Amino acid sequence: MGKVHLLNNVKENTTEYSLVRVKSTWTCKEKHSHIGSTACVSPAKIYETLTEKGTSWTVVTPIIFSYKVTETHGLLDPCNATLLTGHAHEPQTSADTLRIPSKPIKRFVVVDQEVYRIYGSQITKYFEVNNVTCKILALPTTEENKSMEMALKILEELNSFSIDRRAEPVIAIGGGVCLDIVGLAASLYRRRTPYIRVPTTLLSYIDASVGAKTGVNFANCKNKLGSYIPPVATYLDLSFIKTIPRRHISNGLAEMLKMALMKHKELFELLEKHGQHLLDSKFQSDSSVFSVSSQSASRSTRLAIVTMLEELAPNLWEDDLNRLVDFGHVISPALEMRVLPSLLHGEAVNIDMAYMVYVSRESGQLTEDEKNRIISCMVGLELPVWHQACTMELIQSSLQDRLKHSGGLVRMPLPVGLGQAEIFNNTSYEVLTSAYEKWCNERSC
């Protein structure tokens, strides 16, 4: 998968072909043959090798995934066109993305049940005022029913409602679980149906909404089935955070902190300084008050998004298993599942990160001062920094699992300063245990 080296050392008995289209037909053309100016050349290539046993072909095709992540205000204001047409590419108008003339606009919308309770009437009004023929499906999208059955339920309704293959994206409004399930359903329908994500929690705003991953749980394992199909667009509206309970805002802050610790000192300092304010104000900046703290909501979310996009875009399908965004995700999956539902995802991530900060310190990658600053920041964000179920045994088995699933290397992201990190494969058992001891001594309640 993704073996591009073939382009560089083509074997002697192998011929490289380009693919050229004339009118409706594609044809293979050898590398140096003449290609007319009216012809369309594909970025795909076919390499043909002849052997005694027959012919061998290698197809190399790039598929371009393009998606938008757009900040907006008042997404559900009927005058705001974003939700309906924000996904269309302006420089390239094509029949695929614009409304088919003389046809009413149709949209299939899946909303998390709790979100529907609060925003349902606004959502309904939005589509009514804009004359959209709409089907709104309100579903209880929780971790426990994040399953193929739920995806199928959505697919049945989608199929009955009947949307255009390309021009009528499915819309998902809710937290990470909702976005993941709808994303999977959309990627399966007709092998690929465009969809839009509207995250309503801080966690999904920063994390689930800006990458390509979709998924459901299977056989008691988190996200065992899924796909890497991004939405055509994600719309980020901080006003949804207004109705999020404080604990869930902390939950989202954990993922922001993750990016800060991995690669952005300024973001870390913002969270350190304005964490409490962000929690108190629920990320609602009062635009009439011109002060640094009132910009902290947009500045911090923006930095979190950009740092996340930087890490996800070059590795959309996880060809490279070395991923900084895995920080906080080495031990937390097992921890989260073990104590489900008592820890939220971000809380488990933070406990993992807190332990790893001690590991970093033990390895000499962080100073005592840096370690303490980080832990204080976490406490300031009202996140748990220790948990009794996070035993040395759980840590060890998580690392074993990691080894197994990552091609034999543990690939542990660790901070090596404030806002910078590297991936380590050789952290010793001694370091891990002495870090664990110190962590427990200093942080257990």
Token pair belonging to 219: 């056989």
- CB-based contact 137:171 (threshold 8 Å): no
Using CB under 8 A, pick the residue from 15, 133, 223, 396 that binds other proteins: 223
Which residue among 45, 213, 258, 282 is the active-site one? Answer: 213
Residue listed under structure tokens 């004359």: 131
State which residue, 32 or 191, has the beta carbon closest to other proteins: 191
Token pair belonging to 418: 């404030």
Q: Residue 211: what residue type?
A: G
Question: Which residues between 182 and 201 bind other proteins (CB under 8 A)?
Answer: 187-192
Question: Which residues between 334 and 373 bind other proteins (CB under 8 A)?
Answer: none
Report how far residue 85's alpha carbon sits from residue 167's, in angstroms, rounded to the nearest whole number.
10
Using CB under 8 A, pick the residue from 10, 39, 60, 136 that binds other proteins: 60
Using CB under 8 A, pick the residue from 317, 337, 410, 417 that binds other proteins: 317
Residue listed under structure tokens 């910078």: 420
Number of chain positions touching other proteins (CB under 8 A): 103
Q: Residue 70: what residue type?
A: T
Which helix (H) or strand (E) segment holds residue 83: the answer is: helix 82-85
Which residues share a beta bridge with 17?
30, 46
Token pair belonging to 197: 């994500």
Which residues share a beta bridge with 40?
21
Our finding on whether 89 is near other proteins (CB under 8 A) is yes
Our finding on whether 390 is near other proteins (CB under 8 A) is no
Report how far residue 264's alpha carbon sits from residue 418's, in angstroms, rounded to the nearest whole number.
8
Our finding on whether 302 is near other proteins (CB under 8 A) is yes
Our finding on whether 226 is near other proteins (CB under 8 A) is yes
Active site residue 213: yes
Using CB under 8 A, pick the residue from 13, 27, 276, 397 that binds other proteins: 27
Q: In the complex, what is the shortest distance from the CB of residue 365 to other proteins, in angstroms, rounded to a whole number?
A: 13
The one segment of 63-71, 250-258, 329-337, 381-389 that binds other proteins by CB under 8 A: 63-71
Distances (CA, A) of 326 to 158, 255, 270, 410: 34, 11, 22, 11
Residue 349's contacts (CB-CB under 8 Å, 6 or more residues apart) are 254, 255, 258, 328, 329, 332
Our finding on whether 166 is near other proteins (CB under 8 A) is yes
Using CB under 8 A, pick the residue from 107, 146, 197, 213 that binds other proteins: 213
Report how far residue 135's alpha carbon sits from residue 103's, in angstroms, rounded to the nearest whole number.
16
Q: In the complex, what is the shortest distance from the CB of residue 117 to other proteins, in angstroms, rounded to a whole number?
A: 27
State which residue, 192 or 246, has the beta carbon closest to other proteins: 192
Q: In the complex, what is the shortest distance from the CB of residue 116 to other proteins, in angstroms, rounded to a whole number?
A: 25
State which residue, 26 or 437, has the beta carbon closest to other proteins: 26
Question: Which residues between 406 and 435 bind other proteins (CB under 8 A)?
Answer: 406-407, 420-423
Active site residues: 213
